[in-house]
Amino acid sequence: MMTLALVFLLAAVDAGASPVSAKPGEGRVDVPAVIARVQTLYDQAKDFRAHFSQKYSRAVVGRVTVSSGEVVFKKPGRMRWDYTQPEARMFLSTGQVLWLYEPSEKQAFKQDLKTSQLPAALAFLMGKGRITDEFDVTASADTRYGRPEDYRLALRPKQPQSTYKSILFVVDAREFTVRESVLVDQQGNVNHFVFSDFKINTRVPDALFRWSPPAGIRVVDTGNLGKQDSGGSR
């Protein structure tokens, strides 16, 4: 249930980085230059929020689930995904703890961030790495995603990962925001996110990342198998 926290999302702000030598459709894309622009822009973002739509396609059964909501990130290490469709859910990283809250089920899942097996992509998001240190990045010819003018970058982890096989970024050729991310797991399931209405460095309040389970909510600590704590605010 906590796989959403594995999604790698980047933000962008205005910066004076060097231009990329080739535009999509005009020859060979300078992948290192594109990555450098994305990395530089993300490094300058203190906080970020956007609307997201998600399409999760299950390979075996052929079923597709569509969701949407708002995502907020704030350095260091904090993020919050508020789902509004098809039902309310929340994923939250306080920087130390990961939470999944399902109001309709009256339950919340809790995991210590230090013990969770998160991919290098999320570590980068939290300011603890560089994209080229963890991934081999190439230009992708997959036109199923993005617009003709966008850059498409295929990321493959340098070390095999149990949670995912590959990631595709669709990068805006002018602003260098990551407009779409496509994560393929080891079973061939596809998790496709589209981001819009970007807002950068808006002084997101720290209080947004503080949360305690409401009274009557069953809390499951996934770091302690078989241990469940019942209801009440913490």
Bridge-partner residues for 56, per DSSP?
Answer: 65, 191
> What pLDDT is stored for residue 119 in this prediction?
54
DSSP per-residue string spanning 12-78: -----PPPPS--TTSS---HHHHHHHHHHHHHT-SEEEEEEEEEEE-TTT--EEEEEEEEEEETTTE
Distance of alpha carbon 97 from alpha carbon 222, whole angstroms:
11
- Domains along the sequence of the chain with CATH: 3-229 (2.50.20.10)
Residue 229 has pLDDT above 60, yes or no: no
177 and 39 Cβ atoms separated by less than 8 Å: no
Residue range 125-149, pLDDT digits in tens:
555 567 888 889 999 999 999 999 9
State the Cα–Cα distance between residues 169 and 189, nearest whole angstrom.
17
The pLDDT score that the predictor gives to residue 230 is 43
With CA atoms as reference, report the closest residue to 208 among 47, 88, 52.
Answer: 47
- Summarize pLDDT for 3-15 with one digit per residue, the tens: 334 443 332 233 3
pLDDT at 204 over 50: yes
pTM (global) more than 0.85: no
pLDDT at 10: 34
Q: Which has more pLDDT, 223 or 81?
A: 81
The span from the CA of 152 to the CA of 199, in Å, is: 22
Indicate the pLDDT class of residue 95, thresholds 50, 70 and 90: confident
pLDDT at 20 over 70: no
Cα torsion 53, 44, 165, 98 to 10°: value is -70
Contacts of 184 (CB under 8 A, 6+ apart): 164, 165, 166, 167, 168, 190, 191
Between 69 and 178, name the one with better pLDDT. 69
Q: Is the dihedral of CA 196, 190, 97, 162 positive or negative?
A: negative
Q: Which residue has the higher pLDDT, 82 or 134?
A: 82
Reply yes or no on whether the pLDDT at 27 is more than 80. no
